[in-house]
Amino acid sequence: MRVVVVPSTLALLPEYASIDDPVADLRAAVDGAVAWLLEEGPASMLVGSPGARRVAEHLLGPADRDPAAPGLLVVANGSATRTEKAPGHLDERAAAFDAAIGASLAAGDPAGLADIDLALADELWALPDADVLRGLAERVGRVTDVTVDYDGAPYGVQYWVTRWACAL
């Protein structure tokens, strides 16, 4: 099974594109990871918001997905409180919160994601995405290989693009 985590930012949608792409490096990472995900066949999606669903449908297509598909696209962000100009303004707890999630993603540790504090996630403007990441622990087996294509917080919102190859 292959799993890819991408952000739920609407900036990835074609209707938000512009001549000067403000998220070109993020878009390239997402495109590469999704292409890798689909190499083995179709993928299902794990999303928590209407915006995340729009991103997933753009990346995978709007067709209903078989939950038994060999791939899983997870659409979720970290906190939206990393800087003063972030949507939720600066919360100094955000960096540590996101670092813990990022470490679990980079280590291929779904159990670490199961420990996300949802009350804190709500305060850091990371819901429902944090709940989606937490739910990932229930969907995957042992992670055998990890690639982190992107880890950054443009505009004060934490985004990851991560690939997991998982044992069945």
Q: How many domains does the chain divide into?
A: 1
Whole-number pLDDT of residue 65: 65
pLDDT tens for each residue of 96-111: 999 999 999 999 999 9
Q: What is residue 2's DSSP assignment?
A: E
pLDDT tens for each residue of 139-153: 898 999 999 999 999
Helix (H, G, I), strand (E, B) or coil at 113: helix
Q: What tokens were used for 68? A: 């038994």
pLDDT tens for each residue of 26-84: 999 999 999 999 998 899 999 999 999 999 999 998 665 677 788 999 999 999 999 99
CA–CA distances in Å: residue 80 to residues 9, 30, 130 = 11, 19, 11
> Where residue 14 sits, what CATH number does that domain have?
3.40.830.10
> Cβ of 35: how many Cβ atoms within 10 Å?
11
Whole-number pLDDT of residue 15: 87
Q: Residue 106's domain spans which residues?
A: 2-166
